[in-house]
């Protein structure tokens, strides 16, 4: 391997040099990992080639020295290096990439874990994903999804529920001749928590309707209100950020440590501004392009989001100022300025923050601000900023003497909801909001009482 690769210029030094790693210690670390792997292949492999067997022996040798997380990370370095060698023609194939493709894995770590298993062949087979709608009810589910999408629905949530049920049924072929109610009950018994029980119930109802279109004798599963009530009682309550907490959060974002990416603090700050001041969802934030912000009209365009709705939102003076400051920092960072480029840009090949990458960045800011525990899924969520936007908007209307009831349709349009019922979910009653409503009721009631008393005397 070493001689052939060297003759073609496919060496670890050339590979690391092309990566343009910013951290000063990373090139040395990458070289140390790759040269160690090359030495192992040269010393241990019988034919001096990089095969799946050689990679498995290297992993079992290194697991004695490195903990699994470190080994998985370094195996990814080797995996990318082998891909680079294949692209240079120095290797015929990358065994790790072949295993990922064969067993339907996007990441390297699951393959590494399976190769470390004494019964690695069975462990690799366990990685193979289940067939999509491959159960005995799979064709019915697939047809129902296709029908709903043809009618104009996205139907992605129900499709994911069907796929979870389908994976369960593929492991339980013994249920193929049982009634649908029994299938759903068996599936429900394997789930835990009221929210998951509600998901099973909703999936069963949707599937029963799909089956009844084919066979009218199939009985629809009736709606059980108690399941919905139990899930609602146990549902995670939104956290309403105070104005002081929002200021702390924004200040923390601007001071976020990021020596290798100076634009990242400005990006996190602007994302939080859009989440709190405009009530945007994380998915809407990361999909914004440069052309969506109109500095002259002082507005931003949100395109093709939930419920197939697009909307143009007016922005306050402070949000426009924050936008202009962010665009200046973005230009200094060397980001592309074409209208169709991502607004929230990063120098990685993708160029755009994905949903998970943007959410994780904002969660790190939440933790650093002390508003969320260091680990776990406890504490405020990023989506709670949208709830806080609605609650504080309602509070501002009460303080200004505006009737909030007349403004709810405008609020629903601003949030991108299809009707006012979706907006009502965000109306969280805080103590201050309750006091404002009670005070308004007291003033109005006093006027009515005074008018009735004066009328009685007359």
Residues noted as catalytic: 281, 306
d(CA 107, CA 405): 50
Strand partners, 209: none
In the chain, what's the furthest Cα-to-Cα distance? Answer: 112
Sheet holding 299-302, edge to edge: 293-294, 299-302, 311-314
Start-to-end C-alpha separation, the chain: 108
- For residue 147, the tally of other CB atoms under 10 A from its CB is 13
d(CA 434, CA 440): 10
d(CA 353, CA 270): 13
> 286 with 358: CB under 8 angstroms?
yes
Tell me which residue of 327, 320, 318, 302 sits closest to 247, measured CA to CA: 318
- Rounded to 10 degrees, what is the CA torsion of 139, 142, 143, 147? 170
Phi and psi of 280, rounded to 5°?
Answer: -80, 150
**Which residues 6+ apart lie within 8 Å of 37 measured at CB?**
58, 78, 81
Residue spans of alpha helices (H) in 45-155:
52-62, 68-88, 95-102, 109-116, 120-127, 138-150
> 292 with 301: CB under 8 angstroms?
yes
- Residue 156 burial (10 A CB sphere; 0-12, 13-18, 19+): exposed
Sign of torsion over alpha carbons 393, 395, 400, 403: positive
């Amino acid at each position: 391997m070493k001689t052939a690769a060297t003759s073609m210029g496919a060496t670890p030094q050339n590979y690391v040099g092309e990566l343009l790693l910013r951290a000063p210690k990373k090139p040395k670390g990458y070289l140390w990992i790759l040269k160690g792997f090359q030495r192992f292949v040269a010393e241990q492999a019988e034919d001096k080639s990089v095969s799946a067997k050689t990679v498995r022996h290297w992993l079992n040798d290194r697991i004695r020295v490195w903990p699994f997380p470190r080994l998985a990370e370094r195996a990814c370095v080797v995996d990318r290096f082998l891909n680079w060698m294949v692209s240079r023609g120095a290797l015929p194939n990358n065994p790790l990439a072949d295993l990922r493709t064969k067993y339907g894995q996007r990441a390297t770590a699951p393959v590494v874990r399976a190769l470390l298993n004494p019964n690695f062949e069975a462990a690799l087979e366990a990685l193979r994903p289940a067939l999509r709608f491959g159960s005995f009810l799979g064709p019915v589910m697939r047809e129902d999804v296709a029908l709903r999408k043809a009618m104009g629905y996205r139907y992605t949530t129900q499709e994911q529920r069907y796929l979870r049920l389908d994976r369960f049924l593929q492991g339980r072929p013994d249920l193929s001749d049982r009634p649908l109610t029994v299938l759903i009950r068996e599936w429900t018994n394997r789930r835990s928590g009221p929210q998951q029980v509600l998901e099973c119930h909703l999936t069963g109802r949707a599937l029963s309707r799909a089956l009844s279109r084919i066979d009218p004798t199939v009985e629809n599963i009736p709606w059980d209100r108690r399941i919905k009530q139990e899930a609602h009682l146990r549902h995670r309550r939104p956290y309403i950020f105070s104005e002081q907490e929002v200021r702390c959060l924004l200040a923390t974002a601007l001071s976020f440590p990021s020596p290798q990416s100076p634009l990242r603090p400005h990006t996190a700050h602007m994302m939080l501004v859009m989440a709190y001041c405009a009530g945007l969802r994380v998915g809407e934030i990361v999909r914004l392009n440069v052309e969506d912000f109109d500095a002259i009209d002082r507005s931003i365009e949100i395109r093709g989001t939930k419920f197939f709705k697009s909307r143009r939102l007016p922005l306050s003076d402070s949000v426009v100022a924050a936008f202009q400051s962010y665009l200046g920092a973005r230009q200094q960072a060397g980001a592309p300025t074409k209208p169709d480029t991502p607004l929230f840009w990063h120098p990685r090949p993708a160029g755009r923050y994905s949903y998970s990458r943007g959410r994780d960045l904002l969660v790190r800011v939440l933790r650093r601000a002390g508003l969320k525990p260091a680990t776990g899924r406890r504490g405020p969520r990023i989506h709670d900023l949208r709830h806080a936007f609605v609650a504080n908007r309602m509070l501002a209307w009460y303080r200004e003497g505006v009737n909030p009831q007349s403004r709810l349709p405008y609020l629903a349009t601003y949030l991108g909801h299809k009707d006012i019922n979706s907006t009502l979910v965000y109306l969280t009653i805080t103590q201050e909001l309750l006091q404002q409503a009670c005070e308004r009721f007291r003033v109005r009631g006093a006027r009515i009482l005074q008018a009735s008393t004066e009328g009685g005397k007359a």
